[in-house]
Every structure is written in structure tokens, then in C-alpha cells.
């Protein structure tokens, strides 16, 4: 058993500068697995067919159809291995260790081939300013096992609170997704109304934001922000939202990002982090829903 598991910390330290290189490498590895899910599953609304999901050991694809069989792939951040399973019984393990993305990609494709699985994967990463093809990426090559496990344990606990928060909403709501493109976890509520076209949107954004949404989530510090944080935003952004006051006191509007933020370290400093996160989710959602004039009486459980 790891020291993290023995200590039982629900909200362990996750300082970005201590594990940024591991996170950047994991980002690319999760994109490789995520692109497999994209290739093997039919399109669902808002790209709900492509994310990964929190599991009892890490992050996984859930079952994906392949010919007359099913395949799932799971990052195990406790034993530090990537596990491939076919419904027909074949099982294969690939160790998670220090290696380049290019080497990981080559080994990964070899594992699929040994299982008889043929999948065409676009080797170019998504949603990055300066992407490097997976098969050419020798830049990202860091894997710190303890950091990966801490990250997963944060996701486990955050998902629990996100799911509890979801019980109060009767409208359309997403599962709790881990989006490998942006490397964050999110849950999204919908008003039920179509959204106006998003200026400058690409095909991914047009599908994701086809309807009015309020989305909450967690990212570990990537994307240039440099610190782990919980967030909540509305799309489209209603007038006056930036002036809304939310709780806890440590949370608030970030003018540069155009959304509400609650830094992870501020959450950890709260007397009851679970209650503080729920308060953030409830108050940020309420501010956005009121500003956007959602029919809250019809959408929420009284």
C-alpha cells in the first residue's frame, strides 16, 4: 500500500510546479487512450462518447465495442500499469514508467496489435498550442508515480462531490467526465435551450456548446494557469455575471478566464473542504443560472 493510501488524505497536496512534467506526459498518454475511445465509439451529443472516467484504480475508457467483442483500457495509478481487457478473456498489462511519449505510443500500439485490435489513431494531440506528434514526441518523458496517484485521489474525491451536487438537478446533466483533450474533469448542466452560434468555434466547440450550459469542474494546473483549481462557467456568458458574489470567500470571478475559480490550495485550507466545495458549486451555479434567466423552478429538485 502506498504512503498516500495509508495516510488516507482525501485532498492531498498537488502543487503544479512539483509535478507539471509528469502531468504534461500523462496528458499525452491519456490523449492516446482517449483517441482510441473516439475511434471505437459512435458520436454522442456534446462528445460524451470520448471522455475517460474515474475508476477504483485510476482512469478508464469503460467498455468499447470492437467487432463482436468489447475492449476496455484503464490507467491503474495504484499499481502503475495500463491494463487492456477484452470481453473474450484476453488481458494485457503495460507498465507505467519513465519513458517518452513516442516510446509509450509504440508500445501501446504493439499491445493493441497483440490483442488483435486494429484502430486508426490520429497521432496529433488535440487542444494544445504547440502539439508534437505522438510518434515524434521525445520531449515529454516524466512519470512520478506518487504524483500520478495523488492526482487520481483528488479526482476520486472531487467526483464524489460533483455527483452529490448533481442530485439536486432535474434537467439534462452530463456524467462526470474526464476530458483528455483539456486534461480536466467536468460535469455540465443544461437549460434545455439552444445556444446562439459560438463566435470562432471549431467543430469540437460547436458540438460541445450547441445548447446553453453551466459547467463545473477541476483542472490540475495545466493550460497556463499554473495552479490546481475548481471552476464554474456559463456558456454563453450572461450579462452581469462577473459582478456576482459567490461563496466561500476565497472563491471568485477570474477576469482573464471569464469564469468563477476556487483554488485547490484554498479548498484544502477550509475547515470542511467537502462542504466548501459544495458551497462553491451551489453558489456559482445559482449566480450563473439567475443571470442567464434559467427556469430554476422547473430544473431543480425542490
pLDDT in tens, 244-263: 999 999 999 999 999 999 99
What is the rounded average pLDDT of the residues 94-103?
A: 98
Radius of gyration of the chain (CA): 19
DSSP 158-211: HHHHHHHHHTTB-S-B---EEETTTTEEEEEEEEEEEPPPPTT--HHHHHHTSE
pLDDT of 8 above 80 = no
pLDDT of 300 above 70 = yes
Distances (CA, A) of 165 to 11, 12, 51, 173, 218: 18, 22, 20, 11, 14
The ranges assigned to domains in the chain are: 14-136, 145-299
**What is the model's pLDDT at position 7?**
45
Whether the model clears a pTM of 0.85, i.e. scores above it, the answer is yes
Q: Please name which of 244, 170, 257, 272 lies closest in space to residue 217, comparing C-alpha atoms.
A: 257
**What is the model's pLDDT at position 209?**
85
Contacts of 128 (CB under 8 A, 6+ apart): none
pLDDT in tens, 205-226: 888 889 999 999 999 999 778 9
**What is the model's pLDDT at position 53?**
98
Which three-class secondary structure state does DSSP give residue 248? coil
pLDDT in tens, 136-178: 999 999 999 999 999 999 999 999 999 999 999 999 999 999 9
What is the percent of the chain with per-residue pLDDT over 70, rounded to a whole number? 97
Contacts of 60 (CB under 8 A, 6+ apart): 52, 53, 72, 73, 74, 75
State residue 82 phi and psi, 5-degree precision: -100, 125
Cβ atoms within 10 A of the Cβ of 300, count?
Answer: 16
- In which element (H, E) is residue 254 found? strand 252-254
Q: Measured between alpha carbons, how far is 20 from 115 in angstroms, rounded to an integer?
A: 33
Query: What mean pLDDT, rounded, does the chain reach?
Result: 95
Amino acid at each position: 500500500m502506498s504512503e498516500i493510501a495509508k495516510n488516507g488524505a482525501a485532498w492531498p497536496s498537488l502543487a503544479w510546479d512539483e509535478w507539471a512534467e509528469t502531468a504534461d506526459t500523462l496528458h499525452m498518454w491519456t490523449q492516446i487512450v482517449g483517441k482510441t475511445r473516439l475511434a471505437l465509439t459512435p458520436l454522442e451529443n456534446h462528445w460524451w462518447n470520448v471522455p475517460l472516467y474515474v475508476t477504483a484504480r485510476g482512469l478508464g475508457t469503460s467498455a468499447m465495442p470492437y467487432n463482436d467483442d468489447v475492449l476496455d483500457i484503464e490507467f491503474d495509478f495504484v499499481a502503475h500499469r495500463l491494463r487492456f481487457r477484452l470481453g473474450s478473456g484476453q488481458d494485457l498489462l503495460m507498465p507505467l514508467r519513465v519513458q517518452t511519449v513516442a516510446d509509450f505510443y509504440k508500445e501501446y500500439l504493439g499491445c493493441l496489435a497483440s490483442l488483435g485490435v486494429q484502430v486508426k489513431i490520429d497521432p496529433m494531440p488535440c487542444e494544445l498550442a504547440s502539439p508534437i506528434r505522438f510518434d515524434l514526441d521525445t520531449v515529454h518523458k516524466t512519470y512520478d508515480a506518487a504524483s500520478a496517484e495523488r492526482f487520481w485521489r483528488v479526482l476520486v474525491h472531487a467526483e464524489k462531490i460533483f455527483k452529490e451536487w448533481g442530485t439536486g438537478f432535474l434537467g439534462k446533466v452530463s456524467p462526470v467526465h474526464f476530458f483528455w483533450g483539456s486534461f480536466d474533469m467536468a460535469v455540465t448542466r443544461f437549460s434545455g435551450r439552444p445556444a446562439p452560434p459560438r463566435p470562432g468555434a471549431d467543430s469540437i466547440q460547436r458540438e460541445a456548446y450547441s445548447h446553453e450550459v453551466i459547467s463545473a469542474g477541476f483542472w490540475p494546473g495545466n493550460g497556463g494557469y499554473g495552479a490546481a483549481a475548481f471552476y464554474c462557467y456559463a456558456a454563453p456568458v450572461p450579462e452581469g455575471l462577473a459582478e456576482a458574489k459567490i461563496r466561500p470567500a476565497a472563491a471568485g470571478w477570474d477576469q482573464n478566464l471569464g469564469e468563477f475559480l476556487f483554488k485547490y490550495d484554498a479548498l484544502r485550507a477550509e475547515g470542511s473542504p467537502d462542504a466548501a466545495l459544495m458551497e462553491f458549486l451551489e453558489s456559482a451555479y445559482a449566480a450563473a443560472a439567475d443571470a442567464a434567466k434559467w427556469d430554476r423552478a422547473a430544473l431543480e429538485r425542490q
